[in-house]
Amino acid sequence: MNILVNYVVIPLVKIVVIVAILSGGIAYLTLMERKVIARLQHRLGPMRVGWHGILQPIADGLKFIIKEDIIPIKADRFVFTIAPGISLVPAFIVFSVIPFGPPDSLWGTGGYVTDVNIALLFAVAVSSVGVLGVILGGWASNSKYPLLGALRSSAQMVSYEVAMGFGIIGVLLVANSLSLVEIVEKQRSMGVWFFFVQPIAFLIYYFCGMAETNRLPFDLPEAETELVGGFHTEYSGFRFSLFFIAEYANMITVSSLAVTLFFGGWLRPFSSVAALSFLDIIPPPLWFVIKVLIFLYIFIWVRGTLPRFRFDQLMRIGWKVFLPVAMANVMVTGAILLKFL
């Protein structure tokens, strides 16, 4: 009975709540993106549906559902149909290991669905599966622009994942654990966020994360101006929206992992300074959400500011800048840890 409650009922409730919050968050992230980009370009953005366009995401969702779902006649129907799912499911699975609150919160069940000893590896591994949806979707469309998008996506993913992995190893060396809960706890006990210990690792992680979510300036698999819509050119209606949701879910994943690894997760700023304990009035999960929102804002800000890379530039940055710098970071960190600790 107890086992049933502890391992089935409680996680299930948490999963339902997280998926619900995430879905709502994604819907309103699209509105936030349109509003912020509009402000950057001196426009108003969506204004018609509801007060200042507050109901726009609902209208968009309805539109996606009622639009016709077209499958090209020469497409590989089976692969074409499941590709958006392959892209979407891993994006949501990652959140099962991301901690939103301390282990003693939520009546002692912990502010996370599960705390596994390889949580960080799991998160990186599962989010790397999502790209298969993009590649398969591009191939199954059997049309030239999606195929080009798919090829670009696979090359880009392979190039940036290596650098990303090396960036994360820097954190791993300091934290001495792959468990995300323990990584946050370590930042509390050390009294410093890992961003201040590993700034280079953070920059590499965040840029590679941007590349992995196919966001500008790394959105070459989509590249509207040259490839129409890239891998999702042939997709329409609900299936198109699944790709869209996956992209936004990945943005939230990258931001959440960045916050957890480098900015103290659910911890308030200066968690070791007792004089600032009035900040505890904001509960830990809310601190987490605030930090994630800041990173999501940076995502949108960068999209509104920077132009797209050319493909050779993209490869050069990945292999000749990010990877060597990340490796050097690991070596220097390791040497310092060996010498002084």
Q: Which is nearer to another protein, 140 or 296 (CB)?
A: 140
Q: Does the footprint of another protein cover residue 89 (CB under 8 A)?
A: no
Nearest distance from C-beta of residue 214 to another protein, angstroms: 14
Q: How far apart are CA 284 and CA 288, in angstroms?
A: 6
Q: Which is nearer to another protein, 85 or 237 (CB)?
A: 85
**E strand segments, 39-128:** none
17-25, 38-46, 156-164, 286-294 -> range binding another protein (CB under 8 A): 156-164
Count of CB atoms situated within 10 Å of the CB of 70: 13
The first and second tokens of residue 127, run together, are 């989010």
Rounded to 5 degrees, what angle do the CA atoms 7, 9, 13 make?
120
Short-list 136, 32, 88, 21, CA closest to 238: 88
Helices (H) and strands (E) in the chain, counts: 14, 0
Q: Does the footprint of another protein cover residue 330 (CB under 8 A)?
A: no
Among 25, 29, 133, 161, binds another protein (CB under 8 A): 161
Q: Which is nearer to another protein, 195 or 231 (CB)?
A: 231
Q: How far apart are CA 110 and CA 285, in angstroms?
A: 11
Residues between 207 and 236 that touch another protein (CB under 8 A): none
Number of residues that bind another protein (CB under 8 A): 32
Q: How far apart are CA 182 and CA 61, in angstroms?
A: 38
Q: Does the footprint of another protein cover residue 76 (CB under 8 A)?
A: yes
The answer to whether 314 and 155 are in contact (CB under 8 A) is no
Query: What crossing angle do the helices spanning 237-262 and 10-40 adopt, rounded to 10°?
Result: 100
Among 64, 139, 160, 195, binds another protein (CB under 8 A): 139
Q: Does the footprint of another protein cover residue 122 (CB under 8 A)?
A: yes
Q: Does the footprint of another protein cover residue 147 (CB under 8 A)?
A: yes
Nearest distance from C-beta of residue 45 to another protein, angstroms: 36
Give how far the C-alpha of residue 213 lies from the chain's centroid of Cα atoms, to the nearest Å. Answer: 7
Q: Does the footprint of another protein cover residue 179 (CB under 8 A)?
A: yes
Binding site residues, another protein, CB under 8 A: 76, 78-79, 116-118, 121-122, 124-126, 128-129, 131-132, 135-136, 139-140, 147, 150-151, 154-155, 157-158, 161, 165, 177-179, 182
